Structure 1
Amino acid sequence: MKSKYMECQKIIKTLRHKDFIKIPNTGKCFEDGAAIYAKEIKKNIFLLFIILKDIDIENIQALIAHFDCFGSIGLKEPEQIMFYLSIKDKNDLHYFEKYLEASNN
């Protein structure tokens, strides 16, 4: 059985392969230590994956949100959240993989 840490490392590798950019988490919007990966899917609309610091599969969040610019991610609250998914188990991970596939289109 794969560890949750290994699953998370696979997810991070996939995000990098799909042209997601790791964003510095310097603001108060996300938990301290969270890793933020973002990709612009339309003008000022971003697909974000937030992986919380304990690197546990139960602590991955996916969202589609509007920010005023790429540089405000991690610093400011989003203008609007259009979609949110909290990944808590293997079934959620399946949906996560589908969104990664969709983000490449």
Structure 2
Amino acid sequence: MDCQKIVKSLNHKDFKRVPNKGSWFQEGAAVYAKEIRHNIFLLFVILKDIEIENIQALIAHFDNFSSIGQKEPEQVMFYLSIKDKEDLHYFEKYLKISDN
């Protein structure tokens, strides 16, 4: 998977990288978040393991932006795990990632 394209796209779409200091996300995961409604956030979590790259997308309710990466969400409303190239193909179409 080309996570660099995804991270570049997230940065262009006003997502902010969140410090991952809690225990809810895997250690070493890169967490990007954007508020889509009051205290409702769209998150992309990029997990890098030795053998696989895994991207998780979720919509979740947190107390506030600063609680992301430190506490569990109040509620998870949507969750998607992307583990292979076919899943990534649809994900890239959704984000309209360019080759630049």
Tell me the TM-score normalized by structure 1.
0.81
Name the structure where helix makes up a greater proportion of residues.
1
Aligned-residue offset at 1:89:
1.8
**Are positions 1:92 and 2:87 aligned together?**
yes
Range that drifts further, 82-91 or 28-37:
82-91
Gaps of 5+ in 1: none
Aligned to 2:37: 42
What is the number of equivalent residue pairs in this alignment?
Answer: 96
1:30-69 alignment runs, 5 A limit = 30-54=25-49, 58-69=53-64
C-alpha contact (below 8 Å) 1:65/1:82 kept by paired residues: yes
Give the 3-state SS of the residue equivalent to 1:28 in structure 2.
Answer: coil
**Residue type of the partner of 2:74?**
E
Aligned-residue offset at 1:93:
1.6
- Determine which of 66, 72, 85 is the counterpart of 1:71: 66
Aligned-residue offset at 1:56:
7.1
Aligned to 1:8: 3
The CA RMSD measured in Å over matched residues stands at: 1.9
* Distance (whole Å) between structure 2 residues aligned to residue 49 and residue 74 of structure 1: 12
- Determine which of 20, 29, 35 is the counterpart of 1:25: 20
Give the 3-state SS of the residue equivalent to 1:71 in structure 2.
Answer: helix
Taking only the aligned residue pairs, the percentage that are identical comes to 75
Gaps of 5+ in 2: none
Aligned to 2:75: 80
